[in-house]
């Protein structure tokens, strides 16, 4: 019998449904390949499940707040059981878009101009600040959400209507909108896995474009780049992965505009659903789904 794997999925973030789907699909693949698997929620029964099941590795299939921001990682550290994906600090840094952007800039990684906003300016002053620092259109988004949850492209006519939808957040990012091509690059361990280009029929690659099959986003692989451009893209993705001290797999979101790659953000817990990009990139590289999962499990054990 192969190792016991405990999968933690669900949670309380806005990405709960995606996490549950990731957990189910990873569990199905592991069971099919002879692993003993249990799935658990990160609730009061969590430690009881660990004690009774005694897993060799914990597969972290959580997404969003409390799942990829260092919170659950802190709890997992206390179990002294190896777990997949990035650790406490890397998860916290990557999830906080303000901090990660500062790190990118400090390390000469191109990222869109931005400023943080705490709903503390009059309408006129906010417009003036945007026109001075980023120009319209702008992207507004929470500092600590994933999967493009509550991300909007705004102009002068709709920005205050969209800002009302983000009132639940203490602070948000207002960022210059970069047009151009949507390209995602994946790193696993310290290796360049590959890239994929997305052509959403919607205005941009938002939550619906990512997870609604009816959105009909085109996935283009291999990406139409020169060898030099492709190598540059993957070098930036690997650099971001390393400077944040990520482990396991990461997926970096880029815009390619006027021959320049703009790093939007880095995702330390990419989805593992049928519509997820990392498994698709891996498949193109002749890495099966089970092999991809096993690489993450081996990486977790290696760290411990």
Q: Is residue 17 domain-shared with residue 47, that is, in the same domain? A: yes
Q: Does residue 261 surpass a pLDDT of 80?
A: yes
Residue 299: partners with Cβ closer than 8 Å, 6 or more residues away? 84, 188, 189, 247, 248
pLDDT at 211 over 90: no
- CATH number of the structural domain spanning residue 259: 3.30.470.20
What pLDDT, in 10s, does the model give residues 160-202? Answer: 999 999 988 889 999 999 999 999 999 999 999 999 999 987 5
Query: In the prediction, which pLDDT does 145 show?
Result: 74
Residues with Cβ within 8 Å of 27's Cβ and at least 6 positions away in sequence, in order, are 7, 37, 39
pLDDT of residue 121: 86
Q: Which domain holds residue 149?
A: 114-176
Number of independent structural domains in the chain: 3
Whether residue 183 is found in the same domain as residue 295: yes
Give catalytic residues, as residue numbers: 15, 147, 211, 251, 253, 265, 267, 271
pLDDT band at residue 303 using 50, 70 and 90 as cut-offs: low
Last residue of a domain, one of 176, 195, 230: 176
**Which CATH number characterizes residue 78's domain?**
3.40.50.20
pLDDT score of 209: 47
The answer to whether the pTM exceeds 0.85 is yes
Lowest mean pLDDT among 50-54, 68-72, 144-148, 254-258: 144-148
Q: What is the pLDDT of residue 251?
A: 97
Q: Bridge-partner residues for 181, per DSSP?
A: 256
């Amino acid at each position: 019998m192969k190792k016991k794997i405990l999968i933690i999925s669900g949670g309380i973030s806005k990405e709960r449904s995606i996490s549950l789907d990731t957990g189910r699909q990873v569990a199905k693949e592991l069971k099919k390949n002879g692993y003993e698997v249990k799935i658990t929620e990160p609730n009061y029964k969590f430690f009881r499940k660990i004690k009774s099941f005694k897993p060799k590795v914990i597969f972290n299939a959580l997404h969003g707040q409390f799942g990829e921001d260092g919170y659950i990682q802190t709890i997992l550290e206390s179990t002294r059981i190896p777990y997949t994906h990035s650790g406490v600090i890397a998860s916290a840094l990557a999830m906080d878009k303000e901090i990660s952007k500062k790190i990118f800039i400090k390390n000469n990684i191109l990222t869109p101009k931005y400023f943080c906003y705490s709903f503390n300016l009059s309408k006129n002053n906010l417009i003036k600040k945007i026109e001075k620092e980023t120009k319209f259109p702008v992207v507004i988004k929470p500092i600590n959400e994933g999967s493009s949850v509550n991300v909007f492209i705004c102009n002068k006519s709709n920005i205050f209507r969209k800002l009302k939808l983000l009132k639940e957040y203490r602070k948000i990012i207002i960022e210059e909108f970069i047009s151009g091509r949507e390209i995602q690059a994946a790193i696993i361990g310290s290796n360049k896995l590959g890239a994929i280009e997305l052509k959403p029929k919607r205005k941009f690659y938002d939550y619906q474009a990512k997870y609604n099959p009816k959105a009909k986003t085109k996935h283009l692989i291999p990406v139409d780049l020169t060898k030099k451009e492709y190598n540059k893209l993957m070098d930036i993705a690997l650099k971001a992965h390393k400077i944040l001290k990520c482990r396991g797999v990461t997926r970096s979101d880029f815009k390619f505009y006027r021959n320049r790659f703009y790093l939007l953000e880095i995702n330390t817990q990419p989805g593992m659903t049928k519509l997820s990009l990392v498994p698709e990139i891996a498949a193109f590289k002749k890495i099966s789904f089970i092999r991809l999962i096993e690489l993450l499990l081996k990486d977790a054990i290696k760290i411990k």
